[in-house]
Structure 1
Amino acid sequence: MEILVSPDPDRTAERAAEAVLSGLARTHSGDPVLGLATGSSPLGLYRALGRAVDAGRADFGTTHGVALDEYVGLPPGHPEGYRQVLLREVCGVIGLAPERLEVPDGSAAGSAALEAAAAAYEARIAELGGVDVQVLGIGANGHLGFNEPGSALTSRTRVKRLSARTRRDNARFFTGLDDVPTHCLTQGLGTILEARRLVLVATGDGKADAVAAAIEGPLTASVPASVLQWHADTVVCLDEAAAAGLRNRQYYDDSAAGLPEG
């Protein structure tokens, strides 16, 4: 695991974008596949990727985008449905073609149909050849995607109940708490771990406890993001506030400096 701490959110986003681009440069033989997270944490990263496109350093014209999750029960086209969010915040920013955006079908009615939608999403990821780089945020309770505390560390894409804390945190995107869906379709932790590179972005002191628990705490279902410790190529990009709880900060900074020249 590589821990990169930057002085502010803007530099954090730039370093995360560098980690994404270098990971995509090692893509498998098919078209690149970029895993996409929603929420506030990755927004700076997507804008940084957009600047790289504008500067001619990146091109997402042949890239497939794969969403981490989707709410259950929102009507198609709802502005806070994650397909619409990603169309606004990613496709329109980095030049990812809307027809290349894959999102779980949370509009399916009934548990059997939702289970079928989850299985179909797993199959689609496999059909694409797997995710080359997965962008991630982290919830204040340590959730990854919508894998809430208690999620199986080997879980696959499935229906999950959102925790009360997650719903309160996401209420700012809706007109009120009552409008926040109670369930979602989310990639499982086992699904996420199959991506070739994971790039997690976290900024602000509200994420400091979760970051410290995920990086330096035990591997546990109580902190779903602790599965990052299991992955062979994880890059964690933090600002100073999000890194405030790390005990081994000096070591991370020394490691990030690389080998001495000469």
Structure 2
Amino acid sequence: MELVIAPADELAVLAADAVESLLRAKPDAVLGLATGSSPLAVYGELARRHAESGLSFASATGFMLDEYVGIAADHPERYRNVIEREIASPVGWPSRQVHGPDGSAADLPAACAAYEKAIVDAGGVDLQLLGIGTDGHIAFNEPGSSLASRTRIKTLTSQTRQDNARFFGGDVEQVPRHCLTQGLGTIMAARHLVLLATGRGKAEAVHQLVEGPVSALWPATVMQLHPHATVLVDEGAASRLQLADYYRETYASKPSWQGL
């Protein structure tokens, strides 16, 4: 696992660099798309590069991490609509090539199985963008999730619903109670994981992710077992790290030819 500590705007550039390098080398790459606040600056940077230097998503495929269950199709916070608004539309990404779990399906277990199959049929995810919750969840794999879990329905914790209430006008009762989410096993099958976290509110979760024991209590810690995981954090999110100085030294001295 590589840990990079830098200002938030630099983190977005680094993540966008990783996506651009992949797309330049493999135009038909499969990208894993996160929602929430963490990836927004990355999406903005990718949109800028699309507009200014022609970075193309025309042949790429995207798979979303998760989706609320029972949310209206036209709701602005339905994750399919968020992804369309924040990244797909700004970069001219054909909607038919961006996929998400169907939170309105009549048969949710079947929809989850179909989503898993679609990812496999696409060749698997090349680069997966991730955020992390204050309780250590990635995607909507709440504490207690199986480290081998696959796409399934989950009940959101009160903490996650409170954290997400800001997207629903501050009203926690408007936040759905259930979601479909890629499992930890699904996420771990991606070839490169890139997680972003900013602010002191994420400091304990980042500390557990990087330096704590692998445990279902902090689901993101499963990333310690991944062969190519990158964690990008600002000073606030890094404030609980015991080895922060070592991470800074390591990144400062890394070879110029070596990317994330």
Query: Which TM-score tier does this pair reach, normalised by the shorter chain?
Result: over 0.9
TM-score (norm 1): 0.93
Q: Is the 8 A contact 2:88 2:95 kept in 1?
A: yes
Amino acid at match of 2:241: L
Match for residue 101 of structure 1? 98
1:251 corresponds to which of 237, 243, 246: 246
1:15 and 1:9 map into 2 onto residues whose CA distance is 10
2:237 corresponds to which of 238, 242, 245: 242
Alpha-carbon RMSD across the aligned residues, in angstroms, is 1.6
Unaligned runs of 5+ in 2: none
Q: Is the 8 A contact 1:33 1:133 kept in 2?
A: yes
Worse overlay, 154-163 or 43-52 = 43-52
Q: Is the 8 A contact 2:22 2:29 kept in 1?
A: no
Match for residue 162 of structure 1? 156
1:128 corresponds to which of 106, 117, 122: 122
Return closer, same or farther for 1:57/1:251 CA change in 2, 3 Å cut-off.
farther
CA drift of 1:51 comes to: 1.9
Q: Is the 8 A contact 2:199 2:234 kept in 1?
A: yes
Match for residue 144 of structure 1? 138
Match for residue 89 of structure 1? 86
Amino acid at match of 1:125: I
1:188 and 1:50 map into 2 onto residues whose CA distance is 28
Cα-to-partner distance string for 1:147-201 (whole Å, 9 max, x where unaligned): 0000000100000000000001111111421111100000000000000100001
Unaligned runs of 5+ in 1: none
May I ask how many residue pairs the two structures share in their alignment?
A: 255
Cα-to-partner distance string for 1:5-55 (whole Å, 9 max, x where unaligned): 11x21111111212233344565xx82111000000110111111222223
Match for residue 227 of structure 1? 222
Amino acid at match of 1:116: A
Return closer, same or farther for 1:243/1:56 CA change in 2, 3 Å cut-off.
same
1:260 and 1:65 map into 2 onto residues whose CA distance is 30
2:191 and 2:168 map into 1 onto residues whose CA distance is 34
1:58 corresponds to which of 55, 63, 72: 55
Q: Is the 8 A contact 1:20 1:199 kept in 2?
A: no
Matched, 1:71 2:65: no
Amino acid at match of 1:5: I
1:171 and 1:140 map into 2 onto residues whose CA distance is 14
Q: Is the 8 A contact 2:58 2:94 kept in 1?
A: yes
Return closer, same or farther for 1:133/1:139 CA change in 2, 3 Å cut-off.
same
TM-score (norm 2): 0.93
1:213 and 1:37 map into 2 onto residues whose CA distance is 21
Amino acid at match of 1:208: A
Identity %: 51
